[in-house]
Structures are given as C-alpha cells and as structure tokens.
Chains A and B, each alone.
Chain A
Amino acid sequence: MLALVQALTLSAGYNAAVVTVGAAILGVAAGACGTFMFLRKRALVSDALAHATLPGIVIAFMVMVGFGGDGRDLFGLLAGAAISATIGLLAVDAMVAHTRLSQDAAIGAVLSVFFGFGIVCLTVVQTMTAGRQAGLEAFLLGSTAGMLYGDAVTIAAGAALCLGALLLLRRAMTVVAFDPQFAAASGFSVRLVDIAMMALVLAVTVIGLRVVGLVLIVALLIIPPVSARFWTDRAGVMVVLSAAFGGLAGYGGSAISAVAPALPTGSIVVLAAFAIFSISFLFSPRRGLLAAALRRRGHEVRVHRRQGLLALSKGEPVLDAMTLAVLRRERLIRRDGVPTELGRTEAAKARLDEARWIAARIALDPDALASQSDVLTPIEDAFTADQIATIDRHLQKPRAV
C-alpha cells in the first residue's frame, strides 16, 4: 500500500516517476486524438494500425542488428513501427476506396495479416544469432518494468509533441469531426484535416506501444472518448474530458504497474480506463443507466397518477396496484380508496386538462401541436395564455366532479 502511494505521488524512484508522467501525457494525447477519431466513426481503424506495427518493429530490429547495433534502440524500433503502420493504414483506405469490402472487413484483414506476418518475422529473429529477442515481447502487452531512462524520456517527449500538435489543430479538427459539410463550406480541407488526425493517431499508437502494448493500445484511444460522450454533448468539452480520462488511466495504470512489475502494464491501464467507463456508463446524469432508469420510473409514475385521477373524476374504480400506490403516496386517496379533498381537486384539474388537450387538437393548427407530443404536461405549461383561450372556446364547460 505504501509502495502504491509512493508510486502515485511520483516518489518511487526517478525512472518510475518519468514513466508515470510519460504514461499520463500519453493518455492525455490518446484521449484527445481518440475523440476526433471516435467522432469521425473510425474508432477501430486504430486497432488495425496498432497490430500493423508488429512487422515494422521486428524488421527494424533485424535491420539494426544487420548494421551491427544491438537492435534495441527504442527510436529505431518505433520508426519501423510507424512505417509498417502507415502501410497498414493505406491498405485499409485503399480497400475501402477501391473494392466493395466494407471498412470493418478491411480493418480485420489488415489487422490479422500484418500481425501474422509480424509473428513470422519474430520467428526469424529467434533464429538469428543476435536473436535475444527479449524486449520485443514487451511491445505485445506493454511493460514499464526495466524501461531505460532514455526510453521513458523518448515516450514522454513524443507524447508531449503530439499534444502540442493537437493544441494547434484543435479548432480545425473539432469542426471537421463535428460537421464535415460545414467545415468544408468554411474553407477547411476535410481531407487534409483527416490525414493530420490519422497521423496523430498513428503517432500516439506508436509512442504508446512500449507502455501499453500493441494488442491493447487501441483501448486508450477508444475508451476515454466513449466515456466522455456520456457526460457532454459539446465536442470541445468532450475532447477535454476525454483527455483527462486518458491521462488518469495512463497515470494510475502505470503507477500501479510500477508497484507490481510482474503484471503487464497494458492490462492495468486498460482496466483503469474501463473503470472510468463503467462509472460514466452507470452514473452520468445525461445518458447514464441510473439516470435513464430514474427517468423511466418518473414517467411511469406520471402516467399512473394521471390515469388514476381521470378514473376518480369519472367515479370509476381504480384497480391497478401501482396506480393505487401512487395515489395513496400522494395522499390523493385514503387507504380504503375513497378520494381525499386534495384528490378531488386534483382529479377535477386532470379532467379539465384532459378535455383541453382533446380540444387543442381541434382548436390549434397542427404546427403548434407538433412540438407538444407529451399530453402528460399540464396544458398551461405547454401553450401560451392566448392559445389556451382559443382552446377553451372549443371546450364544453367542465362539469363538477
């Protein structure tokens, strides 16, 4: 526990602190980039990208060994990853543009074929005399254990660069993500902005490989924006929230992983992100599950209350258990089902309201009605006094209950 607190407060050693900060910056960049990608409905393209990095990493290793290096230079490996991911991305785009295959088929094909080819390359490395391929596996599931100081700085600096580029491009990317037609009309080149977006996604993916791993890096690009979407309808707010969620997942995940070096960092980061998602999914006041359930329940109560009151006003017996419960709870009826004073007043009101709503369909023109579909709203709240006067002229005088 103490170790975890130390890791979270960046006092568990210099290397661990750099890695944790680096992962947090990476998460922020990934969350922000991912938002634009999510809004452009290309979320899973990043999965193809991530898997397509494997052959590049392995071939870069072989080339570096071929030139007499030890093959573990992170910058060189990431450059290889970027090249093969670019080829994968171009393959997805070409398949979608020039054949009848849909985007998901193209993604799946590139993902599995590039990854398979990467595995073939890995087995080649295993046979090389310099084939201490230890270290390359770290790219599969991510590992911060034993990361060199230079590597950590490379990752942190790369993520910071991405973040800077994002800040510069944020307006153009927001407009394009939100409304491509409007963006094109306002003079943005949608194509160029899309290319810039995918380039940033690619950069984040490549930089994140060593920390999160290529199987799971896609989670850092998808889960934060999906979680952020629950809290807001505004693109700008969503980017900021998503970046914060990504940063939190990266920070927390790598801090926990610093305490438990045997566990793959990628898994912990992804599960941290999923925890944020779960909270958003359940408790967001706008689109969360709990809020939706409460709204549904509230609507149900209003319908039962209304139907119960109408029945009372006509002197009909109320039989439905839930209606009875609702009426009793609001003290509209007594325990034996006889309406109270309050109940009779409310029933009369409901009767008048109902009659007015029926008359409204005749009295008002359809345009005025079209915006008001919920007849459970008290009619005074739905229309202006003038409109109500018009309605009342079409109304027979309500009888007393």
Chain B
Amino acid sequence: MGLGGEFVQLSLAPLLIGVLAAVACALPGNFLLLRQQALIGDAISHVVLPGIVVAFLLTGLVSTWPMLLGAALAAVVAVAMIEAIKRLGRVEPGAAMGVTFTTLFAAGVLLLEQSDTSAVHLDVEHALYGNLESLVWFDAVGWASLMDAGALAGLPDELPRMALVALAVCLLTAVFWRPLKITTFDEGYAATVGIPVNLLGIGLVVTAAVAAVAAFDAVGSIIVIAMFICPPAAARLMTDHLGRQVTWSVAFAIASAVLGYTFAGYGPGWVGTDHALSAAGMIATVSGLILAVTCLAGPHRKSVAVVK
C-alpha cells in the first residue's frame, strides 16, 4: 500500500470520514454506556431510517439538512415512545425498546419500498451498511491537492459535514463535561446542585442521534451501533477514570476505523485478490476484536467488588 496520489484520491476522504464518524459516535457512547443506555444507540440507528424516509417523502429531495432534521426528530419520537410504553404501560425498558425500534424500522422499510425512491440513492442495504468506499475525491492528484482550492471544492460533501458534527460533539462533550459526569454517576446529587438532569439526558440522546444520523449517511447503521458500544465498552475495561476512559475510547475508535478501512481496502490484495471488502463491516469487526482483547486482558475487566 502506497501513500501516493492514488491513496489521496481513493482512500483519504473515506478514511477521514470513517475516523470522524467513529469518534463522533464513541464520545456520547461513553456516557450512554455508563448510564446503562447502551442500546439507545441501537434503537436510534434503527429509527434513523424512517426519519430519513419521511423527510425525503415530505421534501422530495435527498438533501442533507431535511434528512438530518427528520432523523433527529425520529430519534426524539422513538425516545418518547419508549418512555411512554415504559411508564404508561409499565413495561420493562428492554422490551419497550424492542417494541419501539422494530416497529419504527419496519414502518421505515415499508415506506421506503412503497415510495418511488429508485431514482435516488436510498435503499435498505445502503442504510444498513453504507457506502464508505464510494466517497472518493475525484479531483485529487496527490498530496499537493490539499493546498489546491479547486480540488478541495471537489471533496465529497460527507467529509465537511461529518467533520462539523464530530467537532460539535467534541465541543459539547467538553463544555458539558462536569454536569455530564456528575449526572452520570449520581443523578440525585446532580439534581440537588441544580443541574437540569432530565434536560441533560435528553440533550445527550439528541447529540447521539445527530452523530448517528451524520455517520449513518456516510457509513451505514452497522458502524454507528458498533462505535456507540464497542470502543466505550473496551475503554471501560481499561480504566476506572472517566477522563481516561473517554481518551481510550477515542483511541480505540480511531484504531478501529483506520485498521478496518485498511484491512477492507488492502487486505484482499495481501492474499492475492483484488476485490475490496465492506469497509463498514470491517471497521465493526475490528472494534469487536479490540473489545475481545480487552475482555480477555483489560486491566479493569473484572466486575467491581461489591463492598459488603
């Protein structure tokens, strides 16, 4: 594998998008994991589909912002539906979640198949595993293109969008670090010191939803679920310190994205075929391998001893 002009043209943009998507999902994933809400990420990434489809049906175009908005709204609807079933129906959370996301996903699939979306790039397979490999930078001729305004304008739209969302997620995490930390570990105390606990919880879910939607667009829902859970879970087994956990999770997310993309794109070449594999799937696989290693050897893998 060379790092020359061909790399810049074919791999640089998808690689960066993969890394940014992984980081944007892993950051909120840490807090969801610690709040026992890990599967919210799973639920969100399923309901993103109906959100996008409805947005498309209403506006008639595949453009980013309506879809982003539609998907974020769908996530909020899903969370409200889960809460309603949980509270009003007195159903346990896991089952309430199962009812909600399967139904919304089924509705999304049905809407998609019923409406005429053949002209646009919107189908279930794409929704599930994205199409990272197709996000090539046609205008690039080599590293020098990074300095060329004309070539930069030809970057795939997903890159600046994903960068913006990743940046926003990082900023939000930094700004709300203390209240997030306090509410995650001691909600009662957080409420007594005047932190709007519920609002913060909703904010976290919405942030996760926005990250999921932006990432989903580029890389499909598999990576989204994997990045919400695997890097934070692996990081959780490395340390007892929240700051270090978040740092580890970002490192694991980046490693998954880079290694996964590399294996998918260049791995087959090493064994003598020239067919690339699914990058999204490979990134999820690598994140799983990292988690497996930490499960077997992570310094803090054991359950916390219960003080009697």
Contacts and interface: CB of A to CB of B under 8 A. Distances in A.
Asked if A and B bind, the verdict is yes
Interface of A: 38, 41, 43-44, 47, 94-95, 98-102, 104-105, 107-109, 111-120, 122-124, 126-127, 137, 140-141, 215-216, 218-219, 222-223, 225-226, 229-230, 262-264, 266-268, 270-271, 274, 277, 281, 287, 289, 292
Interface string B79-96: 000000100111110111
A109 B290 CA distance: 11
Contacts of A281: 85, 88-89
Contact of A100 (B98, B129, B302): B302
A99 B114 contact: no
A137 B125 contact: yes
Interface in B253-283: 264, 273, 275-278, 280-283
B131 to A, nearest CB: 12
A218 to B, nearest CB: 6
21 contacts: A47-B42, A98-B295, A98-B302, A99-B303, A100-B300, A100-B301, A100-B302, A108-B41, A109-B230, A112-B229, A112-B287, A116-B284, A119-B129, A120-B281, A124-B277, A137-B125, A219-B102, A267-B109, A270-B102, A271-B107, A289-B88
A114 B288 CA distance: 8
Contacts of A100: 236-237, 300-304
B95 A226 contact: yes
B113 A262 contact: yes
Given A119-B281, A127-B273, A263-B114, A109 B98 contact: no
B106 A113 contact: no
Contacts, number: 203
Contact of B277 (A105, A108, A114, A123): A123
Given A99-B303, A108-B41, A223 B284 contact: no
A113 B291 contact: yes
What DSSP secondary structure best describes chain A's contact surface?
helix
B38 A105 contact: yes
Contact of A117 (B96, B125, B276, B284): B284
A289 B107 CA distance: 23
B107 A43 contact: no
B302 A99 contact: yes
Contact of B301 (A43, A99, A116, A267): A99
B59 interface: no
B285 interface: yes
What DSSP secondary structure best describes chain B's contact surface?
helix
Contacts of A41: 92, 94
A223 B102 CA distance: 9
Contacts of B202: none
A196 B53 CA distance: 40
B144 to A, nearest CB: 33
Contacts of A229: 91
A115 B36 contact: no
B288 A113 contact: yes
